[in-house]
């Protein structure tokens, strides 16, 4: 389980998908990409989806994703994304009153219980008091994080 803080954008893609029965159907699918701006998010999702979709597709929507952090899983069966809403309890130093703040996370897991386990695994290593106020399965197909590489960086480091 690893986590990543970044600026995330949710992108919706519309295209003709070949269904299991061989029929073509127009579908809209949601993805999340790590980007610095809306235009970079559009560029990144087009680049990522060009590898998977043969034929034309359209980016129908891009918006900032409301996730404070994304928790990735290396487990083979972790093929779903869950939105987790956590409440953190802090003490206001001046008033000495409890204050709750809410943060949304995106957690990769194979099941609801797996999402809770992955969340507790990451958050258990912190000293922060938290409660899980909700976990819901999303319709996200995948999340693409920034690798730091560009196409020109793909050549070998040295040539013999």
Buried/exposed 114-142: b ≥16 CB within 10 Å, e otherwise: bbbebbeeebeeeeeebeeeebeeeebee
pLDDT value of residue 149: 54
CA angle 93, 96, 99 (to 5 degrees): 85
Is 67 a domain residue? yes
Q: What pTM was estimated for this model as a whole?
A: 0.81
pLDDT at site 3: 56
**Per-residue confidence (pLDDT) for residue 2, from 0 to 100:** 55
Inside any domain, residue 158: no
155 within domain boundaries: no
In a domain, 7, yes or no: yes
Which class for 73: exposed (0-12), middle (13-18), buried (19 or more C-beta within 10 A)? buried
CB 145 within 8 A of CB 159: no
In-domain check, residue 120: yes
Q: Which domain holds residue 83?
A: 2-146
Q: Each residue of 39-66: b (16+ CB within 10 Å) or e? A: eebbebbeebbeeeeeeebebeebeebe
pLDDT of residue 87: 93
Q: Is residue 127 part of a domain?
A: yes
Examine residue 160 and state whether it is found in any structural domain, yes or no. Answer: no
The reported pLDDT for the residue numbered 91 is 81
pLDDT, one tens digit for every residue, the chain (160 residues): 555 567 899 999 999 988 889 898 999 999 999 999 999 999 999 999 998 888 899 999 999 999 989 999 988 899 999 999 999 888 888 888 888 889 999 999 999 999 999 999 988 878 888 899 999 999 999 999 876 654 444 444 444 4
User: What pLDDT, on a 0 to 100 scale, did the predictor assign at position 1?
Assistant: 55
Counted domains in the chain: 1
- DSSP-derived 3-state class of residue 53: coil
pLDDT at 89: 82
């Amino acid at each position: 389980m690893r986590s990543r803080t970044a600026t995330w954008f949710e992108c919706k893609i519309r295209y003709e998908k070949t269904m299991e029965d061989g029929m073509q159907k127009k579908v809209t699918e949601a993805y999340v990409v790590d980007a610095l701006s809306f235009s970079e998010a559009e560029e990144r999702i087009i680049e990522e989806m060009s590898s998977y979709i043969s034929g034309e597709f359209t980016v129908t929507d891009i918006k900032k994703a409301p996730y404070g952090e994304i928790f990735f899983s290396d487990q083979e069966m972790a093929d779903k994304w869950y939105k987790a809403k956590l409440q953190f309890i802090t003490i206001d130093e001046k008033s000495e009153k409890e204050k709750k703040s809410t943060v949304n996370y995106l957690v990769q897991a194979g099941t609801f219980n797996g999402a809770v386990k992955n969340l507790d695994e990451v958050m258990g290593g912190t000293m922060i008091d938290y409660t899980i106020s909700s976990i819901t399965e999303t319709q996200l197909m995948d999340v693409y994080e920034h690798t730091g590489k560009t196409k020109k960086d793909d050549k070998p480091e040295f040539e013999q």
